[in-house]
Amino acid sequence: MKTLVLAEKPSVGRDIARVLHCQQKADGYIEGKEYVVTWGLGHLVELQDPEGYDKKYKEWKTEDLPIMPEKLMTVVIPKTGKQYRTVQGLLNRKDIGKVVIATDAGREGELVARWILQKAGCRKKCRRLWISSVTDRAIREGFAKLKDAKEYDHLFEAAVSRAEADWLVGINATRALTCKYNAQLSCGRVQTPTLAMIAKREEEIRNFKPETYYTIQAETVCSAANGNPDPTRGSASVRGSAAKPVQDRQVPGNIGGSQRHSASIRFQWRDSASGGGRTFSKERADAVCRALESGTLVITKADRKRKKTPAPLLYDLTELQREGNRRFGYSAKDTLNIMQRLYENHKVLTYPRTDSRYLTSDLVPTLRERVDSCGIGPYKAIAAKVKNRKLSENLPFVNNAKVSDHHAIIPTEQVPELSHMTIDERRIYDLVVRRFLAVLYPPFEYEETVLNAELLAAGEKKSGRVEGEKRSAAAEKESCRNIGDGSDTGVRDKKISGSQNQESAARDKKLSDSRKLEFAARGKVVLAAGWKEVYGELGEDDLEEEGETESAEVLQEQILPAVQPGQRMKVSAVRCKEGRTKPPARFRESTLLSAMENPVKYLESGDRNQAKTLSETGGLGTVATRADIIDKLFGSFLMEKKGEEIYLTAKGRQLLQLVPEDLRKPELTADWEMKLGKIASGSIRRDRFMQEIRGYTQELLHEIHTQEGTYRHENMTNKKCPNCGKRLLAVNGKNAKLLVCQDRNCGYRETLSRTSNARCPVCHKKMELAGNGDTATFICACGYKERLEKFKERRQKEGAGVTKRDVAAYMKKQQKDAAEPVNNAMAAALAGIRLE
């Protein structure tokens, strides 16, 4: 008897067939002596549409709701029906004794296989292949450790419960809204809260009122003893090499050398009450500036600390999607598709749909081989430095408790063919390999020096031991004496002046509120580049996901001379900078993915238990579905892109006003995912969960039917639909501008323009292709225009007519020619000549 292996996709099926020595190819499967390998095309079976239960549901009517079949049925997807019949025939073959489920190792992969087996009526014994990569070695090891499929029955129950719950709520709520308002309004338990987060961010931006603030910087001259500058102290930026370690180790209280040398330090004013580096009072800023121009700074503290920063954790899918969007502008869907090719076709990366950033201990013995496999080409030098490192289970990125179905994304043991990858594949592969090598490197080490100083006004006396001393009232008065008229805004740079103004001095004294004027400066010296060496010139600086950090709140790094507490420095220049507070940044795909993964701050209830649940269940959606949710929101015209920023459309804003409040909250998804997790672990019964879902669906419909509201198309055009005669709506798709019919039953749509991959010859940006046929024209934002016909002619002259197949054939011929003797033709011609 033979064993049938059911893979999820043809590419994986072919890899398994090769490892199992199946060579006889047929239509939809590959057969060998012991195994027959077949595959799905993703899902071959799906839940039945409402009209499959009753023809009346084909027409959307409010009176037909709710649609709640006693048992939800499955149906074969028509476009993949041929492959399903092939799989069904193999399952029913008499020489097939058992089945191995080899679909993706996860909740959705389990659903793909089980629905096929159920639909085909298969009752044969089933085993489960559970692997995280599709290399030959992983497949062989997986088949050596096959598990009983019954161990994954609860996982299947969780998967089918999720599918049926989404069907019941989505179908009924969408039809109810659409019928009531005569507009195609789609809602769901993940997409609607995602839309609500974007709306909340837009409200924050709309209500934001910018304020003017001031920062103050004092340039000082350090000319006392122990004031020699240390040239190794300075920038924290690391570009592949470490600065020389500090040599001048001194006793406490004497930081630095002993030579007399003049150097400057830029101190930033810090509010003694809040610790911040800015003030919103212009009078106070002017008072501080005037006090500085007549005073001297005294060092109160000079702290030097050695610090270590470990490498960032390994990638999960969401983090990789964020990085792909931030660095290269890829959408979440683009990054996932690229990852799938690297996983399935090139076999150089592990399973992409993972939500973990850790590895399990059983993978530690394979790390050295993975380093060897990816340590080629641009990674050869950096990989060589970790080959001799001792690898144990105590590594910070190894934690069995933080891995559920799949570990973090890392390279496989397969040696990559970098020349066979596209530029997009190379970029994503590069991110994963460098992050993998980075975690194997030692921490980034640096020494940070922070100087604290107080203003010593003209005529005030202070000893070297400044900390703890109280300032006299007279000294405080002197510290706020006025110099100049204080009328400057923006950047002001004044040399010390002797002119005073008594009236301003009195006002400055009041503004000072008898508080000390404190200042700080910071410098850093790199002791060891550590993991940052992996990134070299690429850099691996942290990106602020939720908006820009005000520069006033961060001490700027600089080269610091060696100083000691009690040392005085004369102020040589004062700069007062004016700035404006900024609203929160609009969402991009990268930041939207972050918000979906961690939507706790968008909870309306503020309930800690709900926040904890949401964190534990992984946020809105899963790593496998978030990209599809974002694409769906673009495709249904609920949101649109302007540049890289995401905006709600008028349709999206109105939908949020009409949809039931419960569907807008992230708490709903948190509750569902928590219960689905319990179903997967066997803690609760599936039928109990589904009973709750049916009751919840009834509540949603009642709320929609009884609520008051109207829907108005705000994007109506004067152009009429050629099919029904109704006016068309202008909408912005993710990559195109379209006209669509307002009648949801008509479904007519017309593309006005789409973003192409063609680059402008002037500015090299992507151009839009507007029009069709002979009128099709490329249009660039810079103003360049070119007819499609002329564009093709130009590209033909530039060599665009060469296809990938042509390149492959040329390379094959070159390799063949290289293997033959150089003068092969001449040698053949002279072969018959006899020289006697």
User: What residues act catalytically?
Assistant: 351
Rounded Cα gap, residues 267 and 521, in angstroms = 5
Helix (H) or strand (E) holding 276: none
Candidates 614, 618, 435; CA nearest to 531 is 435
- Amino acid in the structure at residue 187: C
Candidates 329, 328, 327, 324; CA nearest to 339 is 324
**Count of CB atoms situated within 10 Å of the CB of 501:** 16
- Residues 6 or more apart from 803 whose CB is under 8 A from it? none
Rounded to the nearest 5°, which phi and psi values hold at 153? -65, -40
SS3 content of the chain, % helix, strand, coil (to 5): 40, 20, 40
Fill in the DSSP letter of residue 361.
G
∠ CA(566), CA(571), CA(577), 5° rounding? 120
Rounded Cα gap, residues 604 and 617, in angstroms = 18
- Residues 6 or more apart from 422 whose CB is under 8 A from it? none
CB 527 within 8 A of CB 239: no
Kind of pairing between the strands at 125-128 and 96-102: parallel
Residue with tokens 């024209």: 777
- Amino acid in the structure at residue 291: A
Cis omega (within 30 of 0) on the bond before 69? no
Candidates 473, 555, 511, 474; CA nearest to 290 is 511
Rounded Cα gap, residues 289 and 300, in angstroms = 20
Helix (H) or strand (E) holding 307: strand 295-309
Rounded to the nearest 5°, which phi and psi values hold at 489? -125, 170
Rounded Cα gap, residues 438 and 445, in angstroms = 14
* Radius of gyration of the CA atoms of the chain, in A: 34
- Amino acid in the structure at residue 71: K
Helix (H) or strand (E) holding 264: strand 263-270
Rounded Cα gap, residues 509 and 225, in angstroms = 33
**Count of CB atoms situated within 10 Å of the CB of 35:** 20
Rounded Cα gap, residues 285 and 487, in angstroms = 11
Rounded Cα gap, residues 464 and 469, in angstroms = 11
Rounded Cα gap, residues 289 and 287, in angstroms = 5
- Amino acid in the structure at residue 133: S
Candidates 46, 466, 486; CA nearest to 290 is 486
- Where would I find the H helices in 773-823? 788-797, 804-819
Rounded Cα gap, residues 564 and 554, in angstroms = 23
Token pair, residue 587, equals: 């969402």
Rounded Cα gap, residues 594 and 320, in angstroms = 11
Rounded Cα gap, residues 732 and 331, in angstroms = 17
- Residues 6 or more apart from 736 whose CB is under 8 A from it? 751, 752, 753, 754, 755
